[in-house]
Chains A and B, each alone.
Chain A
Amino acid sequence: MRFRLNPLTVQKIRRFRSIRRGYWSFWIFCLLILFSLAAELLVNDRAILVHYEGRFYWPTYGDPLPGRTFGLDYDYETDYRHLRRHLAAGRGAGWVLMPPVPYGPYSTDLRTDAFPPFAPSWSERHYLGTDTVGRDVLARLVYGFRIAIFFSLGLLAANYAIGVSIGCAMGYFGGRFDLFFQRVIEIWANMPFLYVVIIVSSIVVPSFALLIAIMAFFGWIGITWTMRTVTYKERTRDYVLAAQVLGASHGRIILRHILPNTVAVIVTYAPFSVASGIVALTSLDYLGFGLPPPTPSWGELLQQGWAYMSAWWIVAAVVGAMVVTLVTVTFIGEAVREAFDPKRYTVYE
């Protein structure tokens, strides 16, 4: 029965779909995520498919294939861009199918006659140019997006798990429990978040999970307040009283009765939290306190763009990407808020 949608929910979804801007943004956003999940096939310095001496190779996933596999004279991983030219020149039997962007996020494309950053070039397939070390900006953007978006979703999950549980409990139990946590939150909220991050990341190099943990450490407060208020309101509703009279346990009341009725609030906040998660990671990376180099990151690109203003393509690419992502997420958020807005169904007299 859990899978049968509540008629109210169906109505909300229908309403969401009717807001075209948000609806399409949602699909674009999903597509971007899907696209980034398949990034290895689209943006990579490993070939998608190599046909060499009658055999097919799929180097994208799995262990690296040493150059000797394809008759080259080295043991380290094959340089497929080179292999492609090598085979095309007739120095071996076979062919190479490269991804549309034949550069990975870490591969440096250095030349003997010039110094990076290199401007965008269609013929070199650096569609957005390279950064100051000669890495493809588009590749860094795509992989950076994947990290940022999953970081942000992970952070969202962590924040909401903590915030919703504590907030619900505060609202539901009230009394001393509520008072105690109110004071805890007030103290907590006064801790300077950025300083703590700086201190922590100067002592240990933050990993993906650790950074989520640090940020969630401070990020749960906002949703907690909201959930507390909402739960307070719901608790005094007749259906909760009815459930209590019927002898339902606290757990059951919270999970089966109150929580489903507060989902609207949670869902409304979520897209904006995703956006702020992306911004948070980017700004931490920009300041140099985020994920360690050489992790592809938007903040690091932004930092480079700032230091090398003359290499306009770096800053243009990352600012463009941020604007597109944040606008998309915000449109989704607006549509969700609109769809879940209770005012539409309530008449105040």
Chain B
Amino acid sequence: MNHRTVVRWLHVAMCMAALFGLWGCGEDPAPVSAPRPGAAPAPPPRANLPGGILWQTNDTDPIYASPTAVRGGTLHEALLSFPLTFRTVGPDSNSSFRSAILDNQLSLIGIHPNTERIIPELATHWAFDPDGRTMYFKLNLEARWSDGHRVTADDFAFTLDFMRSKHIVAPWYNDYYSREIEKVVVYDDHTLAVVAARPVPDLHLRIGLGPTPRHYYGTLDADFVRAYNWRIVPNTGPYQISDFEKGRRIRFKRQEHWWGDNLRYFKHRFNVDKVVYTVVRDFNLMWEHFKKGRLDTFGLNLPDYWHVKSRTEAVRRGYIERIWFFNDTQQSAQGLWLNLDRDLFRDPRLRYAFAHAMNIETVIEKVLRGDYFRLEHGFMGYGAYSHPQIRARRFDLDKVTALMTEAGWRRGRDGIWSIDGRRFAVEVTYTLEEHTPRLVVLKEEAKKAGIELTLRRLDPAASFKKVLEKKHDVAWMGWSTSLRPQYWEHFHSDNAHKPQTNNITNTDDPEMDRLIEAYRSSLDGETRARLSRRIQERIHEIGAFVPTFMVPYVRQAYWRWWRLPDPAGTRHSNNLFDPFNSATGGLFWFDAQRHHETREAMKAGRVFAPATRIDDTYKMASIR
């Protein structure tokens, strides 16, 4: 996984955490071990390219930009706060603005956002070594740094030196680039190999490095953090910071003759001339700025903004358009996690009955305004790794009755199922106050099914502790996502019945262990995907997880003069007006004629038909 991808995924995980009160796990960005001392910045010796390399490229996957897109215009965006530095590593660099810089720093290869196959970025060709840990790359001869220097193989070797240097004060990167990547081998100026520390599945996701300009940095020293705080480092992407006013705004300008303009997957993209980020320190104020036309787009994912606040004059008059774009990207595993070590949940029939007693559909319909969708299982949106057919158990009183009666339980005088003096009463542990309305409705509905829920809201730390120590009955929570499903931590018996592991259901199933071990040891994508789907079936059979909600879409408002391709984004787009992202960004363009027309109409008081576009090209099959 290259620097940019690591960052992007961490960022996604953090956003998800902020949205749903998730607990981030999996790839932990916390310092893991002490940094390795910085390596000497001398260029590595040249080696000879081994024979028999099978070069591959990809010039056949569909393009997703619109050929009708035209260049020009300025996109105005807002930032909640000014970044503390323009460095992308080291202290204070982990702000949300960092992605704007990193996205303009291309990697060797990219991933096609619709087909998920490898596509060229800085490399034109690549090849896999049979050892399972080495990839060879041929660089694009056209590739240039923004300062005009050629991008050479040595710049990738320097990435390793740079990331391992103690002077950048970034222990996590020090560690990652030391432990995961063994070396970069330079064969000539345009041919190189990247070698991972050990064979890993999805090798290409881990070692598609980005280059670092050796000619610019030279030798790093202890002054690095201070010296490079506000430096604009040469990059390889289409835009670069042209000027900035600290605390106020940052302006990006498109490079006049960008070397990537004619690449198959970059053509007709990155269309605006300038991108201006202005600091607006309040979310509501941003909305006001947008309504005044000082910002070009605004995210409407929050129900309040989509349903209520965006009923404004400019929207009614058609000056501002709205889009609801469904994507098909990794969904957080949110739901109710049953503790199988509790007596009640030892019997699978009681687990199934519990699932059938959860009226998630009513909550979605009546509390969440139909804005959320039912999560069918814990790993939706992982492409071939996701099972397309599994459906979560639906609210069904007859099934509850059948299952409970079969298990020998009877409804007590209070209407709750009971057996030998025990009642089907469980405690649900949760953290966010905003989730109370959902749980209150679930509780009332569960009572109809004869199950009593006791709601226990604890503060996040206390709740996390309780759940990790497996002292809960049922935990109401979600996990952050990763590139591929992670099963071992959640479902392997190695992690069951002991505190401080992520197997919070205490799933302890020999069949599951066998599947997970096979999944972890396999290097073949197809086998892994098949095993992944089988594991998801097994999770469903065990029934310790009751999936609840997902938000598989992005909603945005934009002024009428902005145009989007058709379909408006890609399978993995989570912002249709992302100006820089090399995989999903830069698809929109500025329509000067419509801009003129709209401005005139606003002056003259003429109106257009209000436009709300719903794009369900990539809507998941389960919610169609």
Q: A residues bordering B, Cβ < 8 Å?
A: 63-64, 66, 74-77, 106-108, 110-112, 115, 132-135, 202-203, 205, 288, 292-294
Contact status of A292 and B456, CB under 8 A, knowing A74-B397, A76-B447? yes
B281 to nearest A CB, angstroms? 22
B414 at the interface (CB under 8 A from A): yes
- Known A75-B397, A77-B448, A293-B455; further 14 A-B contacts with Cβ < 8 A: A63-B414, A63-B415, A66-B411, A74-B397, A75-B401, A76-B449, A76-B450, A77-B415, A133-B441, A135-B440, A202-B458, A202-B462, A205-B457, A294-B436
Report the nearest A residue to B441, measured CB to CB: A108
Closest 7 CB pairs of A and B: A76-B448, A110-B366, A202-B459, A63-B413, A133-B437, A64-B415, A202-B462
- Residues in chain B near residue A133, CB distance under 8 A: 367, 436-437, 440-441
Q: How far apart are the CA atoms of A77 and B433 in the complex, in Å? A: 28
- Residues in chain B near residue A134, CB distance under 8 A: 366
B74 at the interface (CB under 8 A from A): no
- Residues in chain A near residue B59, CB distance under 8 A: none
- Residues in chain B near residue A106, CB distance under 8 A: 440, 443-444
21 cross-chain CB contacts under 8 A: A63-B414, A74-B448, A75-B401, A75-B415, A76-B448, A77-B415, A107-B444, A110-B366, A115-B367, A133-B441, A134-B366, A202-B462, A203-B458, A203-B462, A205-B457, A292-B457, A293-B439, A293-B455, A294-B436, A294-B440, A294-B455
B362 at the interface (CB under 8 A from A): yes
- Residues in chain B near residue A64, CB distance under 8 A: 414-415
B447 to nearest A CB, angstroms? 7
Q: How far apart are the CA atoms of A115 and B441 in the complex, in Å? A: 13
Q: How far apart are the CA atoms of A294 and B444 in the complex, in Å? A: 10
- Residues in chain A near residue B441, CB distance under 8 A: 108, 110, 133
Contact with A along B221-262 (1 / 0, CB 8 A): 000000000000000000000000000000000000000000
- Residues in chain A near residue B413, CB distance under 8 A: 63
A293 to nearest B CB, angstroms? 5
A120 to nearest B CB, angstroms? 20
B498 at the interface (CB under 8 A from A): no
| Docked-complex contact A75 and B459, CB < 8 angstroms | no
B458 to nearest A CB, angstroms? 6
- Residues in chain B near residue A112, CB distance under 8 A: 365-366
Q: How far apart are the CA atoms of A288 and B458 in the complex, in Å? A: 10
Contact with A along B440-482 (1 / 0, CB 8 A): 1101100111100001111101100000000000000000000
Q: How far apart are the CA atoms of A152 and B411 in the complex, in Å? A: 37
B613 at the interface (CB under 8 A from A): no
Query: Count the B residues whose beta carbon is within 8 Å of the partner chain — how many?
Result: 30
How many residue-residue contacts, CB under 8 A, span A and B?
71
B369 at the interface (CB under 8 A from A): yes
| Docked-complex contact B443 and A294, CB < 8 angstroms | yes
Q: How far apart are the CA atoms of A135 and B444 in the complex, in Å? A: 11
Report the nearest A residue to B400, measured CB to CB: A75
Q: How far apart are the CA atoms of A107 and B440 in the complex, in Å? A: 9
Q: B residues bordering A, Cβ < 8 Å?
A: 362, 365-367, 369, 397, 401, 411, 413-415, 433, 436-437, 439-441, 443-444, 447-450, 455-459, 461-462
- Residues in chain B near residue A66, CB distance under 8 A: 411, 415
B469 to nearest A CB, angstroms? 13
- Residues in chain A near residue B436, CB distance under 8 A: 133, 293-294
- Residues in chain A near residue B397, CB distance under 8 A: 74-76
Q: How far apart are the CA atoms of A107 and B366 in the complex, in Å? A: 14
B443 to nearest A CB, angstroms? 7
| Docked-complex contact B457 and A115, CB < 8 angstroms | no
- Residues in chain A near residue B369, CB distance under 8 A: 115
Report the nearest A residue to B434, measured CB to CB: A307
- Residues in chain A near residue B433, CB distance under 8 A: 288
- Residues in chain B near residue A76, CB distance under 8 A: 397, 415, 447-450
- Residues in chain B near residue A135, CB distance under 8 A: 440
B74 to nearest A CB, angstroms? 36
A92 to nearest B CB, angstroms? 21
- Residues in chain A near residue B457, CB distance under 8 A: 205, 288, 292-293
- Residues in chain A near residue B440, CB distance under 8 A: 106, 108, 133, 135, 293-294
- Residues in chain A near residue B449, CB distance under 8 A: 76
Q: How far apart are the CA atoms of A202 and B429 in the complex, in Å? A: 12
Q: How far apart are the CA atoms of A134 and B368 in the complex, in Å? A: 13
Q: How far apart are the CA atoms of A336 and B366 in the complex, in Å? A: 50
- Residues in chain A near residue B439, CB distance under 8 A: 293
Q: How far apart are the CA atoms of A74 and B437 in the complex, in Å? A: 25
| Docked-complex contact A110 and B362, CB < 8 angstroms | yes
Q: How far apart are the CA atoms of A293 and B366 in the complex, in Å? A: 19
Q: How far apart are the CA atoms of A106 and B178 in the complex, in Å? A: 57
- Residues in chain A near residue B362, CB distance under 8 A: 110
A12 to nearest B CB, angstroms? 47
- Residues in chain B near residue A292, CB distance under 8 A: 455-457
Q: How far apart are the CA atoms of A134 and B441 in the complex, in Å? A: 9
Q: How far apart are the CA atoms of A134 and B366 in the complex, in Å? A: 9
| Docked-complex contact A75 and B437, CB < 8 angstroms | no
Q: How far apart are the CA atoms of A107 and B441 in the complex, in Å? A: 9
- Residues in chain B near residue A293, CB distance under 8 A: 436, 439-440, 455, 457
| Docked-complex contact A75 and B411, CB < 8 angstroms | yes
Q: How far apart are the CA atoms of A106 and B456 in the complex, in Å? A: 16
| Docked-complex contact A202 and B444, CB < 8 angstroms | no
B416 to nearest A CB, angstroms? 9
Q: How far apart are the CA atoms of A327 and B244 in the complex, in Å? A: 59
Contact status of A132 and B437, CB under 8 A, knowing A63-B414, A74-B448, A75-B450? yes
A257 to nearest B CB, angstroms? 50
Q: How far apart are the CA atoms of A198 and B191 in the complex, in Å? A: 61
- Residues in chain B near residue A203, CB distance under 8 A: 458, 462
A82 to nearest B CB, angstroms? 12
A59 to nearest B CB, angstroms? 12
Q: How far apart are the CA atoms of A331 and B443 in the complex, in Å? A: 41
- Residues in chain A near residue B411, CB distance under 8 A: 66, 75
Q: How far apart are the CA atoms of A132 and B366 in the complex, in Å? A: 11
Report the nearest A residue to B433, measured CB to CB: A288
Q: How far apart are the CA atoms of A111 and B362 in the complex, in Å? A: 10
| Docked-complex contact B443 and A202, CB < 8 angstroms | no
Report the nearest B residue to A134, measured CB to CB: B366
- Residues in chain A near residue B365, CB distance under 8 A: 112
B312 to nearest A CB, angstroms? 16
